[in-house]
Amino acid sequence: MNDTSSKRGFTTAILHSDRESAIEHGALHKPLHTSVAYGYRDARDLAAVFQGRQTGYAYGRQGNPTTAALEAKVNAMEGGVGTVCFSTGMAAIAAAMLSLSDHIVSSHFLFGNTNSLFGTLSEHGTPITFVDATDGGAVERALTPQTRLVFVESIANPRTQIADLARIGALCKAKGLIYVVDNTMTSPWLFVPKRVGATFAVNALTKYIGGHGNALAGSITDTGLFDWTRYPNILDHYKSAKPSLWGLTQIRKKGLRDFGGTLAATDAHHVAVGAETLALRLGKQCENAQALADFLAVHRSVRAVYYPGLSAHPQHALARELFRGFGALLSFELAEGIDTFEFLNKLRVVVLSSNLGDNRTLAIPVAHTIFWEMGAKRRAEMGIADSLIRISVGIEDRDDLLGDFAQALA
């Protein structure tokens, strides 16, 4: 994005980002490029692209013009120096961990599949220490001379704990550590991790940025704050002319190319179009989520509600300071004696589904589904009660949404 576009508002810049570069036939959206192979008239150019000395496309597994346009769009949202897109958000996280890390310190309030991934990494020799990341001091105490990376989520899924983001960022800067913030639950509309010193911002583009539940995608953005010349794990042939891109180059080569988590052009196009309305959708979702949290918080059939917009939330003040809004994710526990499945089956507007960030409101019994595999002990450590229900709030009319919960709880 050029200097002019950087001065535009969030939505205006996203709407017009494709036209910052030439588009075939004057199209308003970057068209689909489904080719796997790319030809060159001069063999020297082909070699230069492979060696990273020249921009271009070598093979579809490493990207194409359609995914590159999405990368530019996400990069502008996050204020980064570069972005790499993947087939899913999990692929983006895995690529960073496998390409760069040694000992990892991670929040123990994690999305279920991220927790599973870290378990697999641990089994294969990557040491991981889980801590309560709402306390920056706990992160500091967990550091060892081998620590290379700290990982947190902006808002934890599903209990909505908020990490001590700024303090952890200052700590990582002082120690020379890579700081990865999974920004999925906030998106760059509500929060930009660069502001707290993050090295990388990860987004599951499937969720709020795509918004329509019709495409899987993920991304990782380098904020430009990390000094890669001081990082010992960069391979020599990935040290390009721009040191700010060394880390991202290694992720693209070792994490994307070698493991093959390639984003398809069709899905990149769907996400890019969906991103245009991110601010409009998420603004409405945050309003609905606040109204629903307020409603549930005083209902006699609800034991506890977890939503940063409630004044009783432990990190409410921190959320107000850091985020534009409190997000569209909330969870709650039913009062004792109420059957979780019976309640869920009475919902008529809300859809029983495992996705997040959809325009439709979605509900899922957490302990019995996405956190089932980790076992009762690990769920207890994360505060996942058997009656915990996660809600991804959509853009329905507020009265219809509240009415549905009212009738199901009656």
Burial of 143-172, coded b for 16+ CB within 10 Å and e otherwise, reads beeebbbbbbbbbbbbbbbbbbbebbbebb
Q: What pLDDT, on the 0 to 100 scale, is given for residue 5?
A: 53
Once rounded to an integer, what is the mean pLDDT over residues 378-397? 91
Domain range holding 363?
Answer: 279-409
* pLDDT 10s digits, 61-95: 988 999 999 999 999 999 999 999 999 999 999 99
Strands (DSSP E) contained in 251-355 are: 302-306, 329-334, 351-352
> What's 402's domain CATH number?
3.90.1150.10
> What's 197's domain CATH number?
3.40.640.10
Same domain flag for 256 and 354: no
And the tokens for 124?
A: 């294969």
Tell me how far apart the alpha carbons of residues 117 and 106 are, in angstroms, rounded to a whole number.
Answer: 12
Once rounded to an integer, what is the mean pLDDT over residues 243-268? 95
Same domain flag for 260 and 291: no
* pLDDT 10s digits, 195-221: 999 999 999 999 999 999 999 999 999
Does the pLDDT of residue 148 top 90, yes or no? Answer: yes
Does the pLDDT of residue 170 top 90, yes or no? Answer: yes
Q: What pLDDT, on the 0 to 100 scale, is given for residue 137?
A: 97
Number of domains in the chain: 2
Q: Which of 254, 275, 296 is the last residue of a domain?
A: 275
Same domain flag for 223 and 300: no
Does the pLDDT of residue 1 top 50, yes or no? Answer: no
Q: What pLDDT, on the 0 to 100 scale, is given for residue 27?
A: 83
Instruction: Return the SS3 of 10.
Output: helix
Q: What pLDDT, on the 0 to 100 scale, is given for residue 291?
A: 98
Q: Which of 257, 275, 293 is the last residue of a domain?
A: 275
Tell me how far apart the alpha carbons of residues 160 and 329 are, in angstroms, rounded to a whole number.
Answer: 7
Same domain flag for 293 and 343: yes
Same domain flag for 201 and 245: yes
Helix (H) or strand (E) holding 275: helix 265-275
Q: Is 246 exposed, middle or buried (0-12, 13-18, 19+ CB in 10 A)?
A: buried
Q: How confident is the model at residue 267 (pLDDT cuts 50, 70, 90)?
A: very high
* Pair 325, 282: CB distance under 8 Å: yes
Tell me how far apart the alpha carbons of residues 162 and 164 are, in angstroms, rounded to a whole number.
Answer: 7
Tell me how far apart the alpha carbons of residues 266 and 34 are, in angstroms, rounded to a whole number.
Answer: 8
Does the pLDDT of residue 146 top 50, yes or no? Answer: yes
Q: What pLDDT, on the 0 to 100 scale, is given for residue 367?
A: 86
* pLDDT 10s digits, 70-79: 999 999 999 9
And the tokens for 333?
A: 């526990």
Mean pLDDT rounded to a whole number for the chain: 93
Tell me how far apart the alpha carbons of residues 399 and 395 are, in angstroms, rounded to a whole number.
Answer: 11
Same domain flag for 351 and 271: no
Cα-atom radius of gyration of the chain, to the nearest Å? Answer: 21
* Pair 245, 226: CB distance under 8 Å: no
Same domain flag for 213 and 287: no
Same domain flag for 10 and 139: yes
Q: What pLDDT, on the 0 to 100 scale, is given for residue 4?
A: 47
Does the pLDDT of residue 60 top 70, yes or no? Answer: yes
Does the pLDDT of residue 118 top 80, yes or no? Answer: yes
Q: What pLDDT, on the 0 to 100 scale, is given for residue 29?
A: 83
Once rounded to an integer, what is the mean pLDDT over residues 299-321? 98
Q: Which of 227, 253, 275 is the last residue of a domain?
A: 275
Give, as one character, the DSSP assignment of residue 264: P
Same domain flag for 284 and 404: yes
Same domain flag for 264 and 364: no
* Pair 216, 355: CB distance under 8 Å: no
Once rounded to an integer, what is the mean pLDDT over residues 346-361? 96
Same domain flag for 256 and 347: no
Same domain flag for 218 and 117: yes
